[in-house]
Structure 1
């Protein structure tokens, strides 16, 4: 089984919208520390070697979440070697001079902890959740594999087969994943966001030990990394540990400066139709070009979150109430905003027709609802309900150290500052009805889109 958790967004609907909003909201809502509300932003500093360090105190239990984030992801790979960022994520567990292959996770588990890793288009990260008194242990181990990874064909080539099997399982064996891959390619065209994080099968199959080590030496350097520790620790206590375990690591490559070509959106609407004998019921999807959080700015970025909640964030949303409950034309429906990327985001809709219903009728009904929102705006009741839902989700999610650490890490890796992330609740609360309509017009009115249809095979 693969240990990787590469983050290609594939789960659709209100669940994804809630995840995106709650994770970001969780990072910025007030959390409790020692029984008292903490309203200040997390504190940070930079080591002499360029590594950034961030502490997120939460003293309710003697537990910490330790994360190391590298500012490199699938969108930074050399053309022809797609999948390398995710492949190296796997290989980081193959051992060093001091830790035998496969022993890293076993040592963490023996000490009562959990660990994992994930790859995104714009970053790769590794984490451990463990008792506070074991924090020095995992810091020493993570620092060791930042500098001392040992790879040979004996470890690399079998793991390459594991990644290929993961690609077959998650992409080739999933009709929905195949449809979304085609839609992303149509939306983002030649930009790396237009391909799957896991990479192209034929290119994965050609990756070598030398490829992995070259990637490691170029990008896995402290000046390209951020340490985030959330839990029963403050910055004053974290600082000497960070200096001890990471501060002595020398820079072995220049700080990575990205030089990506900008996203070029399609110049006309596109439609992707996929038939598959494994599909029992049809599904309708649509992707709209949208800015990322950092590119949108504080006001518009928050408005996109509120728009997604009002339009299709759950059973109280406009699309659900009108098309599922009132008209009965849809069995399920939702909307989401995907803004956690460096170069560009997207706004998405999905819908499942009721049994026996036609996708064309469902699409017409969705377009009609969007037209009404653009023409008539949103009500005060819808606006307040959406902001309350986002706030409630954030309050619930703030209880997770891991969610807090993840959200700050993702925000920092995709162009936001600590202040941007910390102030997000205030920005959500400040969103007005006019802001929501402006956001809707910027992505839903007269803009191009990519529409997808997933249909049963001809023989179904």
Structure 2
């Protein structure tokens, strides 16, 4: 489809959709964004906490992700057969845990053994009151689908969909789990997360390299911290640490809810006031203060692992709110989006030095200045040096030559098509509305994306390549066979 006809066809759709979206804010500061879509009797919900790995205090990495796990454990009424009997046991477990840590610090092994036996006995008592996954069972019983949550460097998201006649049930469940969370099975979940880290980082070639790569690429900004958390930090986290993070960041003015589907705004407003209006307003959470200084020389890191060699190369770029954000997206798309991209054609198809070659934008997050990241897995009998040479040639070509109109139009079309596919899905729309509100300060910016993509020129691409792909802005990561 020619450029003019594409723009003519989608602009009215975007304008109509944007005009249909409504918003309101409760007195406690909690924001709701609502899009009525009555085509099917389904509603998708997104609760977006503007708190992720980058917000964690030093020495307490992983606490945002830990809290995400605990948010499914229930409340005084969900997840337990008798909270009055369970609650003192949970307090007793916390006291015993602190005593164990003190005895370990004192080197009193006999005392440690005695306390650990007591701890296991109380833990067994507490477990007898637990109703496993009752929150999820309720959601499933009433037709809910897609119940899940994710923690990233930038945010924590909780989402699922319900039949249209279960709006009030969602309001009740979601408000209660953040109004009165109970951190039951804290120590069992601690073991689960430690195992998750072992599998995804410590025993993973890629996970190990990425963790070291971020520690190298960022010197001060908390994007250098792993979202899963450092092992020692996970082990040392306490319910008190998690509660402090919850009280700081899960205040209503730091939560955004997006609701898309077969709903009426008036009903959403009434129910939101009834259920979420119970939340007390809290102080504005602290902003991330650390600013990454400009990189002044190439940095590199090597990790040895019994694995196929892997190459990473990253370059610093500004945050998502930068005026050139769309141009950065298209720059990476030209290099690595699909089998027609330059990296795939050069490294995989023509020279066959890599099994795969791709790029990522906004790594590990994009709320703050972040990285363009390129990676390639070497093909058998080829080296990381060969991969590096060819990758660098493609980056240099972007610096030296102006991209053709046809190539630029192709990636623009692909980018707009991806965005439109997300907007057509209730869950995708809910996710994007909440994200743009939290990250850019206004969900309306979502509907400016098409214009931003269209406005990018070939000169913009070349200018950014020249500014970005410099030796002093480069971080290299190599995974070498042990």
Q: TM-score range by the shorter chain?
A: 0.7 to 0.9
* Superposed counterparts of 1:208-357, under 5 Å: 208-251=238-281, 253-277=282-306, 279=307, 281-294=308-321, 296-297=322-323, 300-338=324-362, 340-357=365-382
- Matched residue, 2:105: none
User: Shift of the alpha carbon at 1:395?
Assistant: 3.0
Confirm or deny: 8 A CA contact 2:296 2:472 kept in the other structure.
no
User: Shift of the alpha carbon at 1:32?
Assistant: 7.1
1:435 aligned to 2:460? yes
User: Shift of the alpha carbon at 1:267?
Assistant: 2.4
1:56 aligned to 2:45? no
- Matched residue, 1:22: none
- Matched residue, 2:74: 95
2-structure distance, mates of 1:259, 1:231? 34
User: Shift of the alpha carbon at 1:265?
Assistant: 4.1
Confirm or deny: 8 A CA contact 2:220 2:291 kept in the other structure.
no
1:148 aligned to 2:167? no
- Matched residue, 2:167: 135
1-structure distance, mates of 2:287, 2:20? 28
2-structure distance, mates of 1:94, 1:323? 47
| 1:73-126, Cα deviation, whole Å (9 max, x unpaired) | 222222211111111111112221221253111100111113111112222221
1-structure distance, mates of 2:244, 2:441? 29
Confirm or deny: 8 A CA contact 1:284 1:359 kept in the other structure.
yes
Structure 1 pair 41/312, CA: closer, same or farther in 2 (3 Å)? Answer: farther
Name the count of aligned residue pairs.
Answer: 419
Unaligned runs of 5+ in 1: 1-28
| 1:202-258, Cα deviation, whole Å (9 max, x unpaired) | 11111112222222223222122111111222534422222222123222x312131
Unaligned runs of 5+ in 2: 1-9, 81-132
2-structure distance, mates of 1:194, 1:31? 42
Which structure features the higher share of helix residues?
A: 2
User: Shift of the alpha carbon at 1:44?
Assistant: 1.6
SS of the residue corresponding to residue 129 of structure 1 reads: strand
- Matched residue, 1:15: none
User: Shift of the alpha carbon at 1:180?
Assistant: 0.7
- Matched residue, 2:423: 398
Q: Which one of 207, 214, 217 corresponds to residue 177 of structure 1?
A: 207
2-structure distance, mates of 1:122, 1:336? 16
**In terms of mean alpha carbon deviation, does 189-198 or 265-274 score higher?**
265-274
User: Shift of the alpha carbon at 1:178?
Assistant: 0.6
Confirm or deny: 8 A CA contact 1:288 1:450 kept in the other structure.
yes
Confirm or deny: 8 A CA contact 2:434 2:443 kept in the other structure.
no
User: Shift of the alpha carbon at 1:349?
Assistant: 1.0
Confirm or deny: 8 A CA contact 2:313 2:374 kept in the other structure.
yes
User: Shift of the alpha carbon at 1:447?
Assistant: 4.1
SS of the residue corresponding to residue 85 of structure 1 reads: helix
